[in-house]
């Protein structure tokens, strides 16, 4: 597993804990900072995990609006907590991190949903993030998102 994949999982853990326990992101980050200092072997994933969590927190209202716009009838509150956190991370990478190609952001989010959430979650996450990536205004980061298929299926067909 790459350092960025580990960072995404670590960021998801922090976002999930904050959401489920109703804690401010700053408190969760403070706890994880202490853990980071006590576990230097996990250092490779810390910086990007912190960047994701901070970015999601800073742009949360905008990110949630984008999710609702593309989730076709799903409110944020109606989504399972884990899926909501995965989508927030995915939208942050798509909209706010130009270093990550769209297809990578979507594939990583789908992988997290497949391994950690319900059977239907991977398709839901893929559909929402694919719509987000495909629905950009001119001048925004270019889209590498699949349409209608999971990223894994799209990559297999190449």
80-100 confidence digits (pLDDT tens): 999 999 999 999 999 999 999
Alpha carbons 102 and 105: distance in angstroms, whole number: 5
What pLDDT shows up at residue 70? 95
Average pLDDT over residues 35-50: 81
What pLDDT shows up at residue 142? 40
Report residue 101 as tokens: 């190609």
CB atoms < 10 A from the CB of 74, how many?
Answer: 16
Average pLDDT for the chain: 85
Answer whether residue 139 shows pLDDT above 70: no
Inter-residue contact 14 to 29 (CB < 8 Å): yes
What pLDDT shows up at residue 14? 97
């Amino acid at each position: 597993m790459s350092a960025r994949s580990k960072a995404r999982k670590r960021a998801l853990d922090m976002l999930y804990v904050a959401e489920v326990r109703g804690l401010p992101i700053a408190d969760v980050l403070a706890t994880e900072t202490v853990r980071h200092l006590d576990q230097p072997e996990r250092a490779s994933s810390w910086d990007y995990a912190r960047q994701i969590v901070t970015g999601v927190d800073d742009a949360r209202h905008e990110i949630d609006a984008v999710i609702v716009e593309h989730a076709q009838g799903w409110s944020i509150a109606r989504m399972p907590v884990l899926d909501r956190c995965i989508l927030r991370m995915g939208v942050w990478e798509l909209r706010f991190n130009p270093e990550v190609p769209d297809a990578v952001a979507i594939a990583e989010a789908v992988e997290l949903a497949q391994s950690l959430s319900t059977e239907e979650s991977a398709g839901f996450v893929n559909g929402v993030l694919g719509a987000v990536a495909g629905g950009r205004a001119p001048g925004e980061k270019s889209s590498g998102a699949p349409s209608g298929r999971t990223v894994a299926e799209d990559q297999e067909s190449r």
